[in-house]
Amino acid sequence: MSQRVIKGVDFFCSGGGMTNGMRSAGINVIAGIDYDPECKATYESNNIGSEFILADIFTLKEEDLEKQLSLKRNDNNLLFIGCSPCQFWSIIRTDKRKSEQSKDLLGEFSRFVKYFNPGFVVVENVPGIATRKDESGLTAFANDLTNRGYKVKFKVVNLNEYGVPQTRKRFSLVASRVTTEEVFPSPSKAAKPTVKDFLGKQNGFPKITAGHRDESDFNHSVAKLSDKNLERLIGTPTNGGNAIWWRTDKKLGRAKYTGDGFKDSYSRMCWDKAAPTITTKFFSISNGRFAHPEEHRAISIREGATLQTFPKNYIFHATSMQSAARMIGNAVPPEYARRIGKAIINSK
């Protein structure tokens, strides 16, 4: 049986991680939609031929998208992808007031699914969307798909089992109304990838120091460290060491350390293990286990992108290190997206 020829639209596309992975699988992603104008240059320059549409899904009309992209309703070969920002449903402690609006994004995405009735639908999000599936709208969304004839499969997966060198757990849903069976990527039979498979000199990352600025497109740039944080990191054992040793130190620690805060903050990654989830703050050692396994610094912007499985020639057009990290941390790892795309193309 020949492979399916699929075209896709990537809602909440950000810098294009999902688009890039889907394209590498052979899916023609005709457009990505996002409300952040800073994502446009990164998205379009790395995904030539995929149009970036600057729009807020809360105000975007189905008919306008239909006309702009010349889409057809009930197209068996059309794929809609919805990987909405997910801070509200994240287990990471954030100010939920700032992300209040994001809790309704699945419902807005559902408007377009109902209107166009595409052959395939993909949703990727934090596990919290399934833990609180009634509140998040997942129950209503999945039930609606089923009632309209889609075969729906969803579960929380560890992306380390799908070629990504992170202990990144994500909710994934794949729905199809044109196949004879459920569609979902299978976990890899190969060994789970680790940090040493992606970082280090052997993988093209020269040794650098905290505060290094790489002005090339490779962007092997790294955040500065205060004198105290540098001293803390120098004393932290290499290859997975943690920050416990200095927490109660009179000079380097806190006067009254109570054990609160992120337990892995200021700690090092381990060469022989998967990295932690790469967040939007991976460039800062105070925000997680984001210190290099042996060099006295946080991981660089390019190292974070590589752990997210972005190609090394993927260029991030950003006005700051924080902006680049936000696009990288919010992305669906392209390798995982590729595997979802392959499952769709090869479905029967």
Q: Which residues are catalytic?
A: 86
Beta strands in 110-218 (DSSP E): 120-125, 151-158, 169-176
Phi-psi category of residue 268: left, alpha or beta, with phi > 0 → left and psi -120 to 50 → alpha: beta
Phi-psi category of residue 62: left, alpha or beta, with phi > 0 → left and psi -120 to 50 → alpha: alpha
Structure tokens at 63: 């008919």
Which residue type, as a one-letter code, is found at position 272?
D
Give the total residue count for the chain: 348
Q: Tokens 């092997």 identify what position?
A: 220
**Greatest Cα pair distance in the chain:** 69
Distance CA 258, CA 242 (A): 16
Count of alpha carbons within 13 Å of 316, Cβ hemisphere only? 32
Instruction: For Cα atoms 196, 310, 278, give the angle at the middle one, nearest 5 degrees.
Output: 65
Distance CA 150, CA 143 (A): 9
Strand-pair category, 120-125 with 151-158: unpaired
Distance CA 176, CA 151 (A): 5
Structure tokens at 320: 């700051």
Distance CA 315, CA 274 (A): 24
Residue 166 · residue 275 · CB < 8 Å: yes
